Amino acid sequence: MTANETMKSEPAPARQTRLTPAQWAQAKALLETGQMTKAGLARKFGISRQSMSEGMNKRGAIYGSRCHVVEEACIEGLKDDAARRAEEIVALREKQLKATELLHRLQMKAMADAVRDDRPLSSLLSEAAAISLLIKNQRLIRQQLWGLYGLRDQPATADTVEFVVSERPAASIGDRHA
């Protein structure tokens, strides 16, 4: 079936002879904001192109004369959306920093407990591994959230703790203190 046959098979809207004042107002708004042409409006409202053109001329409607109103509304909406997103990003960053601080405090407490109990720092390997896993998960979550906001992830060292405890032979430790 060709495009012409398709158009012919669809019933045309019934022709009206007159539009109501509300319909004229709607048509004028659509024309002035550039959303529809006079020909498109004629089809939409079921009147001749000539009647639509005469009616619009009589009402002083000019195609696209109020596009700036739509543009300004769009710009204001975008500004509001950008401000809201900026607030959300700041709040997200604050949450990330609090989580990092918590992980840091957990690690420092574990170290302090080990020193107080006269245990070697190498005894913290399991706690360090668990905290390292939490840090990796935090980074992954941050990257995913940053991606949702269309931001590039910042370097991991900027706001995440990286702490590694490893067991060293006594000779290696002695060399460092010498």
Q: Give pLDDT, residue 92.
A: 81
Average pLDDT over residues 24-52: 92
Q: Give the whole-angstrom CA distance, residue 94 versus residue 167.
A: 34
- Residue 59 has phi, psi (to 5 degrees) of -90, 5
Average pLDDT over residues 151-172: 51
Q: Give pLDDT, residue 141.
A: 81
Sorting pLDDT into bands at 50, 70 and 90, what band is 4?
Answer: very low
Q: Give the whole-angstrom CA distance, residue 156 versus residue 105.
A: 18
Average pLDDT over residues 15-30: 87
User: In this structure, what token pair is assigned to residue 174?
Assistant: 């002695």
Sorting pLDDT into bands at 50, 70 and 90, what band is 42?
Answer: very high
Side chain identity, residue 94: E
Q: Give pLDDT, residue 153.
A: 57
Task: Give Cα separations from 91 to 54, 96, 152 (angstroms).
Answer: 56, 9, 17
Average pLDDT over residues 133-162: 68
Q: Give pLDDT, residue 7.
A: 47
Q: Give the whole-angstrom CA distance, residue 8 versus residue 166.
A: 81
Q: Give pLDDT, residue 154.
A: 56
Q: Give the whole-angstrom CA distance, residue 128 versus residue 165.
A: 7
Q: Residue 25: name the closest of 4, 43, 41, 3 by CA.
A: 41
Which range scores top for mean pLDDT: 13-17, 55-59, 110-114, 156-160?
55-59
Sorting pLDDT into bands at 50, 70 and 90, what band is 58?
Answer: very high
Q: Give pLDDT, residue 23.
A: 93
60-103 pLDDT tens trace: 998 888 888 888 888 898 888 888 888 888 888 888 888 878 88
The region of weakest confidence among 78-92, 111-125, 164-178 is 164-178
Query: Which sign does the torsion angle of CA 167, 170, 175, 176 carry?
Result: positive
